[in-house]
């Protein structure tokens, strides 16, 4: 285990314009890092013909801001792909937040559900600091590795694998693929954020405007779309405009209103529950409205890699001496044999954790690792 305290971390604070400078570089605070790492090797079998060893290692670490200079107040900083980071006491290094949070219902049976706009059927966004959605922390819960070596006489089999548990990353690659229509997500709803899709890919039939009583729902339908079964909608709720309540009122979860016929109704309508009360969109508009929301492309970085498998044969001395060699080996080698991700995305989460600090937790157009198979011949002269 280890604990490290990094004092006098440097940052800038704003100063009055009359000084002629915009900011001042100064010591702003202290960051404390904690974690542990360990490794163990066991040899279950060892005799004249057989040798088998297994090595495992694990490590984890997290860093937290424990002190800030009194002159340096907590602050938010723009990060990549519409995300932000917060500088404040108690904040963990690696925390990511959406720049624009979604307005959600506060209480009642609809608590936590996204609230939708009447005008577009898309989420009501809000960039107030208290409303920013927490995306997660890019640091893993732990990283583990395992290697094993099995030897029988002149043959040796080596296997190397790694496992990363936890942490999140935001995928700019996914954002571009979706917006360009080059992802399955662009064609059919994912059941987490939107439902529907294009013709033949889960799209819904457009309802008849004559059957719709709610004006804002009727306004979402163009009769020219009727021949196409490509209606889609965002998952969430919206305030029933007939109630007279404000579209952004999120405190109505436990309340009801009474319509002109004396019928008691909930203030919120669940989008998609009734086709004639659904704020529909065409698929392109639905997918396009996810551009500003990293919430829709933040993924669990948990993954496993079978990095390398090799089979080595030690050439007999009598054979190598014929070629005036002191010895040699012949190896069949395969790298990047198997790859699994919890998110199911066709990209390597590790690509989001390379480079400098401002690149951590963001995957940007990195080509996947290439599987290779080959052989090596080593001769010692």
**Cα gap 322→316, rounded to integer Å:** 10
16: its two tokens: 């009055």
Note whether 139 and 33 are within 8 A (CB): no
**Cα gap 147→134, rounded to integer Å:** 36
The predicted structure's pLDDT at residue 225? 74
**Structure confidence at residue 74 as a pLDDT band (50, 70, 90):** confident
Higher pLDDT, 29 or 372: 372
Q: pLDDT tens digits, residue range 75-113?
A: 888 888 889 999 889 999 999 999 999 999 999 999 999
**Structure confidence at residue 184 as a pLDDT band (50, 70, 90):** confident
For the chain, the domains span: 146-167+301-381
Residue 72 carries which DSSP code?
S
Q: Above 70 in pLDDT, residue 26? A: no
Note whether 95 and 79 are within 8 A (CB): no
The predicted structure's pLDDT at residue 358? 65
- Closest to 331 measured CA to CA, from 381, 379, 380, 374: 374
**Cα gap 297→190, rounded to integer Å:** 12
pTM of the model: 0.84
**Cα gap 170→300, rounded to integer Å:** 9
**Structure confidence at residue 11 as a pLDDT band (50, 70, 90):** low
Displacement of CA 14 from its chain's centroid (Å): 33
């Amino acid at each position: 285990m280890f604990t490290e305290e990094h004092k006098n971390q440097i940052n800038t604070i704003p100063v009055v314009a009359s000084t002629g400078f915009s900011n001042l570089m100064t010591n702003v605070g202290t960051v404390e890092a904690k974690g542990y790492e360990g490794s163990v090797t066991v040899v279950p079998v060892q005799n004249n013909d057989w040798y088998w060893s297994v090595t495992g290692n694990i490590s984890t670490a997290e860093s937290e801001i424990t002190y800030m200079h009194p002159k340096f107040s907590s602050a938010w900083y723009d990060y990549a792909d519409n995300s932000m980071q917060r500088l404040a006491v108690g904040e963990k290094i690696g925390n990511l937040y959406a720049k624009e949070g979604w307005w959600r219902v506060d209480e009642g049976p609809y608590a936590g559900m996204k609230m939708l706009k009447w005008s577009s059927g898309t989420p009501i966004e809000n960039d107030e600091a208290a409303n920013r959605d927490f995306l997660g922390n890019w640091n893993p819960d732990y990283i583990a590795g395992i290697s094993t070596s099995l030897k029988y006489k002149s043959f040796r089999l080596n296997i190397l694998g790694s496992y990363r548990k936890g942490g999140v990353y935001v995928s700019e690659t996914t954002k571009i693929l979706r917006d360009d229509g080059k992802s399955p997500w662009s064609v059919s709803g994912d059941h987490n954020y939107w439902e529907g899709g294009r013709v033949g890919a889960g799209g819904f039939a457009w309802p008849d405007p004559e059957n719709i009583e709610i004006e804002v729902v009727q306004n979402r339908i163009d009769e020219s779309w009727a021949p196409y079964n490509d209606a889609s909608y965002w998952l969430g709720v919206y305030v029933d405009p007939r109630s007279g309540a404000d579209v952004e009122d999120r405190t109505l979860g436990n309340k009801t209103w009474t319509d002109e016929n004396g019928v008691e109704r909930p203030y919120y309508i669940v989008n998609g529950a009734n086709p004639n009360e659904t704020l529909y969109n065409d698929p392109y508009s639905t997918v396009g409205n996810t551009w500003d929301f990293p919430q829709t492309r933040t993924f669990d970085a948990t993954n496993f890699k079978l990095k390398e498998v090799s089979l080595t044969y030690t050439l007999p001395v009598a054979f190598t001496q014929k070629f005036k060699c002191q010895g040699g080996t012949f190896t069949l080698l395969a790298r990047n044999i198997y790859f699994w991700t919890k998110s199911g995305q066709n990209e390597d989460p590790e690509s989001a954790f390379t480079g400098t600090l401002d690149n951590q937790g963001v995957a940007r157009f990195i080509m996947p690792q290439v599987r290779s198979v080959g052989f090596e011949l080593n001769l010692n002269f």
